[in-house]
Amino acid sequence: MYCSTNADVTITNTTISYSSDVGILCDAATLTITNSILWSNGALAVNSNSSADISYSLIEGGTQGNIQFIEGNIINEDPLFVNPASGDFHLSDNSPCVNVGNNDVEDLPENDLDGNQRIQGGIIDMGCYETSVISSIVQTTINEGFTIFPNPTNRIINFEFADNNIEKLIISDITGKTIIKKIDIQQNEMIDLSSFVKGIYFISVQTEEEVYTKKIIKR
Ligand SMILES: [Ca+2]
């Protein structure tokens, strides 16, 4: 992709991959790159003779020029496209780009490149395709009492409880070891799993009468 002189260019939810040269080349343009994937291009990911601000994007291949990595970026990690060799740049189930974009970017498109709803699983994906393969399990109502989402998650897991009757919330790993235990539970809880090792965890929610357990996947 080439940006000519003195342009302000905003690139949002775009996938640029397998270009034989630089992913994005700018003369004197001011670039803002958000929720995008620049992976496996021939030379650099971005070469800007002016400036580029990059947020919530997966970048591989290095940069040249006045490049600012603002926040939420993933560097040099395989986006795990479904089948890039045959031109399929949809995200696979285990892609690190699922549910890690920024929902608050201005002028987000309503649909992805396939025409599917843009934000699924509560958080926008990086790149031009929103993954829907896990749509049946991104939001799980365990009983009528509460809901957890998104699942699988890369980072945040949300809990919504219908009643304020939760006594205890425990997250344990696959060996049964307790990782997090919370006793002061609000009706809307958010737990950050970004420091967790990737894998399977169990969430146990205890009310006065019952205990509910649900498997979650940390990507
Ligand atoms: Ca999503």
- Looking at residues 85-96, what average pLDDT do you find? 90
Does domain 140-218 fall under CATH 2.40.110.10? My reply is: no
Q: How far is the CA of 109 from the centre of ligand 1 (A)?
A: 13
Q: How far is the CA of 193 from the centre of ligand 1 (A)?
A: 17
Residue-level pLDDT at 127: 97
Q: How far is the CA of 123 from the centre of ligand 1 (A)?
A: 5
Q: How far is the CA of 218 from the centre of ligand 1 (A)?
A: 14
- Looking at residues 52-75, what average pLDDT do you find? 94
**What's the mean pLDDT when you consider all of the chain?**
87
Q: How far is the CA of 150 from the centre of ligand 1 (A)?
A: 8
Q: How far is the CA of 27 from the centre of ligand 1 (A)?
A: 33
Residue-level pLDDT at 211: 79
User: In the chain, where does the domain assigned CATH 2.60.40.3080 lie?
Assistant: 140-218
Q: How far is the CA of 124 from the centre of ligand 1 (A)?
A: 4
pLDDT tens-digit readout, 120-172? 877 899 999 998 754 434 455 555 577 888 888 888 999 888 888 888 899 98
Q: What is the pTM of this model?
A: 0.64
Q: How far is the CA of 90 from the centre of ligand 1 (A)?
A: 12
Residue 33 has pLDDT above 90, yes or no: yes
Query: To the nearest whole percent, how much of the chain has pLDDT over 90?
Result: 41
Q: How far is the CA of 12 from the centre of ligand 1 (A)?
A: 15
Q: How far is the CA of 100 from the centre of ligand 1 (A)?
A: 8
Q: How far is the CA of 125 from the centre of ligand 1 (A)?
A: 5
Q: What is the 3-state secondary structure (H, E, C) of the chain?
A: CEECCCCEEEEECCEEECCCCCCEEECCCEEEEECCEEECCCCCCEEEEEEEEEECCEECCCEEEEEEEEECCEECCCCCEEEHHHCEEEECCCCCCCCCCCCCCCCCCCECCCCCECCCCCCCCCCCCCCCCCCCCCCEEEECCEEEECCCECCEEEEEECCCCEEEEEEEECCCCEEEEECCCCCEEEEECCCCCCEEEEEEEEECCCEEEEEEEEC
Token pair 């630089």 is found at 22
Q: How far is the CA of 40 from the centre of ligand 1 (A)?
A: 23
Q: Phi and psi at residue 85, in whole multiples of 5°?
A: -60, -30
Q: How far is the CA of 129 from the centre of ligand 1 (A)?
A: 9
Residue 87 has pLDDT above 70, yes or no: yes
Q: How far is the CA of 105 from the centre of ligand 1 (A)?
A: 14
